[in-house]
Amino acid sequence: MKKIILIRHGKSAWDQPWLSDHDRPLADRGIHDAPKMASRLKEKSIHPDLILSSTAIRAAETAKITAEILGIPEDEIEFEKNLYHASPSILLKYIHLQKDSKDLIFLVGHNPGLNELISYLGGKLDNLPTSGQFGFTFATNSWNEIGPQNAKVWFIDYPKKKH
């Protein structure tokens, strides 16, 4: 069985309007929410075999915070520039390319691509909030075979969700 948790980057800062979208860092709320959400994963004993992240600053910061909370060395995060505002087909391409020795992957990225991928895989959600997490399990042992035909919603979590 393969598992993936799609993680939307934390809330981004808009106080430096001259920055490119790619270079916007986390806002205070993102800096607060990202470790809170990573701690929830830690409480559930959920640790990834791989963190795959967009290179956008806000996504990279979210991935690094998540890794730190879970005790994963930062150099084990894979940063991929093509995940920045990627379409669902590009996101799936990168998931399909992963080694089958990895069973649980965190993918840190952006909307609308994450929302569209969730929908494609059969998840029901209007909008994955910033720092939100959407987990799927797949009834297969090969990343190359994952898709809507073997996807099952595992969990949904986001900062304002009551626990």
Q: Residues annotated as binding site?
A: 58
Q: Which residues are annotated as a binding site for substrate?
A: 58
Question: Do 61 and 30 touch, CB atoms closer than 8 A?
Answer: yes
Rounded alpha-carbon distances, angstroms, from residue 130 to 11, 133, 145, 147: 5, 9, 28, 24
**Angle, vertex CA 26, rays to CA 73 and CA 9, nearest 5:** 70
66 CB-near residues (< 8 Å, 6+ apart): 7, 34, 37, 38, 41, 51, 72, 106, 108
37 CB-near residues (< 8 Å, 6+ apart): 7, 66, 131, 132, 133, 157, 158, 159
